[in-house]
Amino acid sequence: MKRSFPHVQKLEASMGLVFMNGFACKDPTLVTADDFFYSGLNKRGNTSNPVGSKVTLLNADKIPGLNTFGISMARVDFIPGGLNPPHTHPRATEILTVIQGKLFAGFVTVNPDNKFYSKVLKRGDVFVFPQGLIHFQINIGRRNAAAIVGLSSQNPGVNTIANAMFGARPEIPSFVLAKGFQTEEDIIRLMQSKF
């Protein structure tokens, strides 16, 4: 991702760096095998957080050689009951393969239909989440679960719905969210306090 440090931008400009998709393109004469390599996807992510899941994303930021290739991947780890909360990828379709455990996964189409598609997935099962649609996964098994995800962008982006609505800075006015969610402002303020 392009950084916004003035001294770095001056240096980049003097070095003649070219950016593609928000990432600096490396001088081809300086490329090494390490630009196409990552080690550690075999290790579980830290799931000790309120939602009980961890996404380890491998995009062009972690594997520079992915830049302009239109792909990235992730590992998602879940404790029992762990949730990868409802979110979207504005620049990518996602394909998920369960490698351990049992997940309930689904997505919702756009207005006006808002049709919900879901499946219970076990080891070896695959599910696709179309680009830009709200989707989630939750571990419904009694043991830890894990999945490998492929994404059709080297920089898929992620917008977690609850974080965007209740954790925006500055805050979205509670009366706006109360009307949108058709509930009381006190409930909205409680939700905002959690983010």
Q: Are 123 and 182 in contact (CB under 8 A)?
A: no
Predicted TM-score (pTM) of the model is: 0.84
Per-domain residue ranges for the chain? Answer: 46-157, 158-195
CA-closest candidate to residue 145, choices 40, 53, 14, 9: 53
Q: Which residue has the tokens 């062009």?
A: 60
Q: How do residues 151-190 score in pLDDT, each as one tens digit?
A: 999 889 999 999 999 999 999 999 999 999 999 999 999 9
Mean pLDDT computed over 35-51? 95
Which fold does the domain 46-157 belong to in CATH? Jelly Rolls (2.60.120)
- Answer whether the bond into residue 80 is a cis peptide, omega within 30°: no
Residue whose token pair is 């909360």: 85
pLDDT value of position 13: 46
19-20 and 23-24 as β-strands: parallel, antiparallel, unpaired? Answer: antiparallel
Dist CA 147 CA 112 (whole Å): 31
Q: What is the pLDDT of residues 136-145, one digit of tens each?
A: 999 999 999 9
